[in-house]
Structure 1
Amino acid sequence: MAISKILHINPHMNSETYHLKTGLNYITKSEKTMNGLYVGAVNCMVENAYECMRTTKEIYGKTDKRQAYHLIISFEEGETNPETAFEIIKEFVNRYLADNYEAVYSVHNDTNHIHGHIIWNSVRFTDGYKYRYEKGDWERQIQPLVDEICEKYGLHTLEQNKAKDDEKEWDVSKNGPFVWNEQIKKDVDECIIMATDFDMFIQMMEEKDYTIKYGKYISVKPKGMERFRRLKTLGENYSEEMIRKRISQKSIAEYKHIDMPKGLRIKSYGGHIRKKRLTGLQKQYFAILYKLKKIKKRSYSNNYKYKDDIKKLNILQKQYLFLSNYDIETMEDLEKAQELIKAKIQTTNKAKKILIEENSKHEEIFKAVKTIKKEKQAAAFYKLGDKTFEKHNNLVEEARKILKCEELTYKEAEKLETYYQSLIDECNRTIKKLKKDMRISYGILKDIRYREQKETLRHDVAKQEKITSRHDVAK
């Protein structure tokens, strides 16, 4: 299987074609291409490709902005050899670029994964038009062509590989116990990092709708699961003894390899539909119809009349959902619900405070991650030979030293930062929801008291009228 990735080469601040030259020098390095054996070109010679591309730009007066495009085609480890890979790259260039562009291509076999590079001029030598990469071209043109050529040479295609991965994921998802175990482990890990002691850990698990069963071993049952599961069966780090130890001795190493769940991505195919404008003749025609009273102006909306009613309806709906969610039937139930909400807000605030304190302990690590993320592209240019980015490269090296001291890779540190932030965000969302519920409960209480006062007033008025009528009769 071969997968492709397209990049663009932009102008350098000092020399517009500097990055183009650096890129060409990199993909044709002799130590990466068996002394130039796996290097080729179309519509130019390898030795003078840079000069040819620059001349084409000057002829058509297009020396600014995007200079070239760089396509990387990477093959699965052990699936092919350099000779076959070179033939595949060569055929792709001849079919996709040879008619209009100067291009240089090569295969690098100095790593475990054989991969190819193609750099082509952004300006066509035939008519001076620039190559235009539209969103979706990779899916519609580039990768399908790579797959077609791979299939011709007996290699797997990307679609075939995706089908195998999907089949594997489906088999795993059918294994019910495995899915529950992963979910329970994730929730236990979150509660451990937020808890200050074992009692708080149990309380937080219960707030996540877990039923806890005590015995020789602690067992839990999440909402929707049929049977209890012993925590110790989840792994050696999930026995009661280890959970207590992890709560008292939190360390970065425990959270290095926690995989954050990926959100479901929903593709939208909707687009903006432009309203068609009327021509001059159509405008005149409609003007005449309007004067003849054949058509009328659209009346204004009457929605404003129902604004207050809609607002009241929304409030009633929220109050109903609140009463239903908390199983409230009496005033005592309402007061208990308020106490429960206050306790949950207090617990969540405490957990949030602990998370912020833990997060601040690793502030230096997170600063290093931000530095690497910000400066890594500039550092890459420095490694390609551009000395103007030396300062940026030094910042990245210092940041990497900090991570090394903590025995963390960049990805692990980034994942750790994401993990802490996700837990803090979850606390914020929970607090926001609980405060909203508290406001609704106060609103219900206010309505009840208002109705009671109104009823009392009505009863007093009726009583007073009755007394007055008796006096009148007596007279």
Structure 2
Amino acid sequence: DEVDPQQANEIGLQLAEKLAKGHEVAVYTHTDKDHIHNHIVINAVNYEDGRKFHAHGQEAIDHVRKISDELCKEHGLSIVEERSADVRYTLAEQSLFQKGESSWKDEIRTAVDSSKEQATSFEDFQERLKDQGVQATLRGKNITYEHLESNKKVRGTKLGLAYEKETILHGFERQVTRERETRNSATTVNRGFE
């Protein structure tokens, strides 16, 4: 709640300039989540010297984070001290990823990610998941996901913050609000042409 979309976009442009001088960039500022954030797309070819942009591994992530933190401080904004755990991977899953394989938990994550973006209610979410071989059940404070093919279950809290009950249910509220706002703005625009 410290930044508006315009300021976030400006900081994103400054970050892109520092990271990829001489590269074409696009900075997309998203307001569709609880937090305003940027996505930065960098053209790999430098238009000044033709060299390719390289950024790989944890070192590159740490470099981006350092520059982003410096810019936030310059603009009087707080910085994130701890990494958020939107997604949690077990050591066994990390081992599978290194071999180029996916886990049944990651198949659940993929199904949830695609379903929650389109669903407007928990029931709609459940139906979309079931079409992808996953069952979701509300149990107290948790959501339990079942991978139907392997007959294995996992709580949302074990998959990460993005898969927990509160995050999922709050996402439906935001989706309904966005659709309502889109319909209202479309109605307003159409009235202008009458």
TM-score by length of 1: 0.22
- More helix per residue: 1
Highest Rg: 1 or 2? 1
Q: Which has the higher contact order (CA 8 A, sep 6+)?
A: 2
- More strand per residue: 2
TM-score by length of 2: 0.47
